[in-house]
Structure formats: structure tokens, C-alpha cells
Structure 1
Amino acid sequence: MTTTEVSLTPLLAQVNAATQLLATSDDVPAEVGELIDSLDSQLGAPRPIDADPYLTTTLWSAAFRAEKALRHDNAGDARRDVRLALEQVRQALRDIVDRRPYGDDIPIGDVLGATLTILDAPQGAVAELFGVSVRQLQRWLAPGGAQPSGLDAARVRIVAQIANQLRHTFTGPGVLAWFARVHPTLGRAPIEMLGDPPEYPKVLAAATAARAMTS
């Protein structure tokens, strides 16, 4: 099993609790220090984490900074830097865990169904988001019907990941509206970028940033 499957969800709960404890403490509580010292083993080193390389790099970098912050001579500086680093650990873990149900190893039919639940929208609007006709969407949804494959499957998965991020900020109709509006950072409507897989990381990053603003 991968590290993601085995341990990241309970670890995220521990980090959430630690960040809350830090917020009400004048220094770094011993249990928070113990958690930070245990991150190497809890993250499964030296086994790789089965997740987006960008997120895993962010996670490991933040864990290293948290460990380094513990060594500050000044307690106030230690608490400040540990809080910053641990929050980055928390956000990276959260995003890894949240994206897990939409990964390449999850059946595309399950991904499609989960996305429809989030969007809670008419089939016409959903089909447009996936770049297919309503008829094609209905074939995908029919019991025993053909499933998305190739570029269609890639688009379904990225829409699922983006919608999963945005559901923490918007309702289903709000998620659809986010795709349709010109995004100030992207310079165009996100839906216009869904036909070009190399653009997917930019769109996902914009959605993740929208969620971070409400965390």
C-alpha cells in the first residue's frame, strides 16, 4: 500500500489538532514538537508518497522547516515559525488527501459520479464542462455504458479535482460559474483551458487558491 492509503488521513487529523493547539499557546507545546519530530516516520520515509509531486515536495519542505523551527533559541520565534510551517504541512496534507478520490487509480465512473454530486447541475451544463454532448454524457452514465477514456477521462478527472477544491467555497452552481467567469490570475475563463491538458495545473492551482482564501 502507498503512504497515502495507509496513514495520511489520520496524520492530517493530528496536524489539524496541533495547529489549533498552537493557536492558543504561548510557546510550542511538547506534543506539537513530538508530532513534528515524528513526521519523517509518519510520512513513510523512505517510501514515496503516491500523490502530486508538487504537493509532496511542498509537504516535505514544510516538514523540514517545522523541524528546523523547533531548534530556535527564542521561544517566541520558534512558535511563530512552527505555526507557519505546520500550516503549510496541513494544507499540503489536506490537498493530497482531498485529491485521492479522483486519482488515476480510481475508476473513472466513480470519479464521474462524485463530480456530478458536487455540481448538482443540469446535464447540459455538466456536459459543457466536460466538453461533450449531453448524449455522450448520458451514455457514460448509463449502466454498462461506455466510460470516458483518453483525453475525455483526463478532463473528467481534472474537473473533479477542481470541483472538489471549489466545493469548500461555492455551491454547485457557484462552481459552474467559477469555470465560466474570466479568472483574474488566469486571464480567461477556466473552462476555456480544459481542452489543453498542459494548462490543467494552472487551473487547479487557481481553484486551490480560492479554497485557501476561505480556510
Structure 2
Amino acid sequence: MRTVVAIGRVGASRSDEAVSAAAASNAARALAVRVAGECFGIGVGKTEIVRLEGGRPVLVPACGLSVSLSHSGTMVAAAVSDGAVGVDVQRQRPVRPGLIERYFAGVWGDARGRAEADAIELWSCMESAAKLTGLGIARFLREHVLHAEGSGWRVEASPATAEGLLAFTRVLWSDDRYVLSVASGRPGAIVEVRWFDADSASSASSS
């Protein structure tokens, strides 16, 4: 299985708050198309990103690749894989203790201590895993449990819904401003991370 995650900044000369959601979303889609071409041999102009009724992005025409998109602040990310994949980028910010209890209670299994210590990182990992499963975040929270495993998190369905390993999610990169995470169908999956000029990718896609 091959997975490539592209990350870039859109509107680099502006503040985080000045980038519109539409501009960031367009840049993330353009990155996915570029990765499909440069890394998986899908010809330029031969594919595009559309969203299904539930909001999940897909490559059209179907070419055996999965895609996942994310944006936060000025940072955008796109994952393309020949297996199931989910990606998420989050801007670092304080998390009120009450929010951890509100959203994470009963979800984290034996990972509770790490959830409280690394709330933004864990939230990003949870988002990427939810995208891999194709579920909305609310349903994902109700139906899944995360367990700490090595440097990442093992995602399992809760006993009330199903059994077995669904995904493995981990932080790929972080600094004092952003966190990037990816979810794949198995632990230890090799993920290539590539940095792009997101503004240039978006311009090329629309030209």
C-alpha cells in the first residue's frame, strides 16, 4: 500500500484568520489532484475531486485511489492512497478541560491520560480516523474506542457495534502552530509526506 500526504500553506502572506474556507478547500482539492498525477501516474486533467452526498471526497473517474482532505487556518492537507486513508490538520490552540469531558468521555478506552495531555493531537487523530471510516465525527465518537499503541492510536469499534481493528492513526508532524495526522488500515503503514506551495497548486488546477 502506498500513501502520500501533501501539505502546504495557502495565502502565506496573510494571517490565519484571513484565508476563507472556500480558498482553503479549493487548495486542498488541487493538492490531491497534483499528488494523484505526480505520485500515482494519473494524467493531468484526467481526474477531479467531487464530494459524495455525505461529504466524502472522491476522485472522478474512479481510479482505485482513496482521497482525504483537510484544512485549518492557512494550512491545507491532502492524502492519496491505494488503500483506505484519512487525514487531518489542526491549528494548535488551548482546549478547555470541560470540552475534553464533553466530547471524549467514554471514547478513549485506556488512552484517557494521553487524551487530556495531548488533546489537540488526539482530536486530529480522531478526525483522521473518522474520515477513513466515512462516518461523521458525532457517530464516530459514539461507536468507536481509541487505545494508545506505540506512538499512535489503535481504533476499534465499540463492543456494542462491532469488533475488530478498524484503523491505526498517528501524528505525522507537529510544531507550535499545527498538527498533522493520518489514519490507515494497519499499524506501521509507510506514509510519504510532501510539502507543496498550495497557492501554486490551486492556480495550476484552475488554469
> Which is richer in strand?
2
* TM-score, scaled to structure 1: 0.34
Structure number with greater CO (CA < 8 Å, separation at least 6) is: 2
**Which is richer in helix?**
1
TM-score, normalising length from structure 2?
0.35
